[in-house]
Amino acid sequence: MSNFTEFVSQLNETLSEVSRALLGGNFTDCGHVSQKSIFPIQISLTLLLGLIPVLFFLIRKSRKHIDRPAKFEFPTPEEAKPNWKGKRLIPADISQQDDPDHIYCYCPATAQYLGKFKSDSKESIDAAICRARQAQDKFYHDPDFNVKRRKVLKTLNDFIIRNQEVIARVACRDSGKTMVDASMGEIMVTLEKINWTLKNGEKALKPSSRPGPSNMLMRYKKAEVWYEPRGVVGALVSWNYPFHNILNPVIAAIFSGNGIVVKCSERVRWSSEYFISLIKTALRVCEIDDDLVQLICCWGKDGDLVSGNPGFDHLTFIGSIPVAKKVLKAASDVVTPVVVELGGKDAVIICDDYMKKKGVDAIASVVMRGTFQSAGQNCIGIERVIVAGDDEHYNELVKSSLKRWLL
């Protein structure tokens, strides 16, 4: 211990001498520093350089520990259990004449009754936006914002992996799709979106530079783009993928520091309630105000209460062209920016050499699967098949596809 104390004392003395020489501006005075007194400096610098990668590793490890996913459990609704026996809704319709204020939920595959929810009014929609705005302000200005936004996405990712069967059953019960379709269209794509955001989100939101003026007299100017939260965004989502279509905008909103109000389809009001509730639970266990994410649902005739609401700072819409026109018109009256996703005429192009390599029957199976995934209710489902080459391959593919379609 005495040798170490002597070493530290000598090191401090040497550093003090060098500092006095440097601060005095007389660099020639440093010549009297002996080789013996410089030796401890060399050792300390070597140790310091060796410690830098160790410290870097420890910092990265501690960050991973801080934003480690929080574990939580969420009850499975009785209606989503495999052997659930529920009464049937007759007539099977979301609107019942004797109760026009409520949205009725049922399984399209069996007509089993799932529950009913009151259609949101202007007052309840405004209140939801207000709650989201207050929570967004606290969330974005939280000193731990960068850690918490990653932690909550990791928490959701962990929960989805552990409970994917339950999530798929809830989506199936409310939309009538099969478990295979739910696994592919609800679970896999949602996990991929979370993982992509965790890996690339911070890089995508970093300030980026833009070219300055070409004029020599203005070359001193520079331009940068900084990304800041909109505030409260609204997402008007469709029914065909009830879990994915809710999680998709919620993931982006949380990571970019926005509050979000999701307007779900009346067709999947029951499952949307479950999915939003589990998101709110994930927010709470990560010490984030769960008012950051809100759910609303109203009849189509009251759609302007959402799309024409001045409380939103941005809107996204998934649906048809006729409804999109109404959304855009209402939003333009209050100057709210809108992004719409209206599907498309997705094409598969089959080249002549690929047809010969794989065979007509194998390709026909892939085409049919891509066309009728989720009973065709698929934004990227195949709607056009383009066959390159001669007519013979085209006719063979049509014949093989018709045979499968008529089974």
- A 10 A CB-CB count for 25 gives 7
Please tell me the chain's helix, strand, coil percentages from 3-state DSSP, rounded to the nearest 5. Answer: 60, 10, 30
Farthest-apart Cα atoms in the chain, separation: 101
Please answer whether residues 348 and 367 qualify as being in contact, where contact means their C-beta atoms are separated by less than 8 angstroms. yes
Specify if 83 maps to a domain.
no
Note the pLDDT tens digit of each residue in 93-125: 999 999 999 999 999 999 999 999 999 999 999
What's the rounded mean pLDDT across residues 253-267?
98
- Confidence bin at 407 (pLDDT 50/70/90): low
What does pLDDT average to over the chain? 88
Q: Identify the pLDDT of residue 30.
A: 47
CB-CB contact of 116 with 105 (8 Å): yes
**pLDDT given at position 27:** 46
Looking at the chain, the whole-number percentage of residues with pLDDT higher than 70 is 84
- Classified as helix, coil or strand, 259 is strand
Same domain? For 329 and 363 the reply is no
Q: Token digits for 92?
A: 């099977």
**67 or 279, greater pLDDT:** 279
Among candidate residues 141, 140, 142, the one with its CA nearest the CA of residue 257: 140
Domain that holds residue 58: 2-66
Residues 150 and 262 in one domain: yes
Task: Please indicate, yes or no, whether residues 261 and 168 belong to a single structural domain of this protein.
Answer: yes
CA-to-CA separations, 123 to 130, 273, 332, in angstroms, rounded: 11, 19, 21
Q: Considering 322, 341, 360, which residue would you say is the last residue of a domain?
A: 341
Annotated catalytic residues are 341
251 and 184 both lie in a single domain:
yes
Kindly write down the DSSP assignment for every residue of 315-328, as one continuous string. EEEES-HHHHHHHH
What is the chain's alpha carbon radius of gyration, rounded to the nearest angstrom?
30
Q: Could you give the count of Cα atoms lying within 13 Å of 369 in the half-sphere of its Cβ?
A: 10
DSSP 8-state assignment for residue 241: S
